[in-house]
A and B are shown apart, each in its own frame.
Chain A
Amino acid sequence: AQSVTQPDIHITVSEGASLELRCNYSYGATPYLFWYVQSPGQGLQLLLKYFSGDTLVQGIKGFEAEFKRSQSSFNLRKPSVHWSDAAEYFCAVGARSGNTGKLIFGQGTTLQVKP
């Protein structure tokens, strides 16, 4: 069955420290890959996406993610976290075939930033 796993439910980092949020997926083929962020009381904002090409993708707000086919992973990184990055982060995958447009979401990782 297709699935997305975000192993860390909650992560706390100090402001200025580096960040890595993990995402692993189970899929029949290489899917489309996305990271979204949900700030408190807000909707989901697209941070970045991978369709094809360079496996290291750059997004908004200084985030990047790397697709590793051999590990079925798409981890999100940021070199220096800001207090405003505190939010919930969702990894999602979408099918390349079937034209369904459906996304499968991970459970989410809540990021807390310590001053």
Chain B
Amino acid sequence: DADVTQTPRNRITKTGKRIMLECSQTKGHDRMYWYRQDPGLGLRLIYYSFDVKDINKGEISDGYSVSRQAQAKFSLSLESAIPNQTALYFCATSEIQGGGETQYFGPGTRLLVL
């Protein structure tokens, strides 16, 4: 079984709708991240969480919110989706080991906002 899972894998929604993307991990890591990927831009950080009570904004948090329900679960919400939020969304967890921090990514959620 995959260590980091994301649901749904694909989603089509309409402008103005609220949607939630979910991420679960079985790696036992405290740190979790949400990124979005756009062609030609690489991945950009939306939010990150170092534990259940510690949530931080990334570089592009406007229009998004998150919830860390448990160590293993980190959800991303779009309160009122807009077309320029069409992207591939990745969740990641990380571990600190060997003198550094390494991130491990889920399979991604492809979101289309019409």
Q: B34-50: contact bitstring with A at CB < 8 Å (1 yes, 0 no)?
A: 00000011111100101
| Interchain CB contact under 8 A, B31 and A101 | yes
User: On chain B, which size bracket covers the interface?
Assistant: 20 to 34
In the assembled complex, B94 has its CB within 8 A of some CB on chain A: yes
How many of A's residues come within 8 Å of B, CB to CB? 25
| Interchain CB contact under 8 A, A102 and B48 | yes
Q: Shortest CB–CB separation between residue B2 and chain A, in angstroms?
A: 9
Q: Which partner residue on chain A sits nearest B98 by CB separation? A: A51
| Interchain CB contact under 8 A, B48 and A101 | yes
Contacts of A9 in B (CB 8 A): 40
Q: How distant is the Cα of A32 from the Cα of B101 in the complex, in angstroms? A: 8
Q: A36-50: contact bitstring with B at CB < 8 Å (1 yes, 0 no)?
A: 100000111110010
| Interchain CB contact under 8 A, B99 and A51 | yes
Q: How distant is the Cα of A65 from the Cα of B44 in the complex, in angstroms? A: 23
Q: Shortest CB–CB separation between residue A102 and chain B, in angstroms?
A: 6
Q: A46-74: contact bitstring with B at CB < 8 Å (1 yes, 0 no)?
A: 10010110000000000000000000000
Contacts of B106 in A (CB 8 A): 43
| Interchain CB contact under 8 A, A103 and B45 | yes
Q: A104-115: contact bitstring with B at CB < 8 Å (1 yes, 0 no)?
A: 011110000000
Q: How distant is the Cα of A92 from the Cα of B90 in the complex, in angstroms? A: 15
Contacts of A52 in B (CB 8 A): 99-100
Q: Which 10 pairs show the lowest CB-CB distances between chains A and B? A: A105-B42, A51-B100, A44-B105, A43-B107, A105-B43, A51-B99, A43-B105, A32-B100, A107-B42, A43-B108
- Interface residues of chain B, those whose CB is within 8 Å of chain A, are 4, 31, 33, 40-45, 48, 50, 58, 90, 94, 98-108
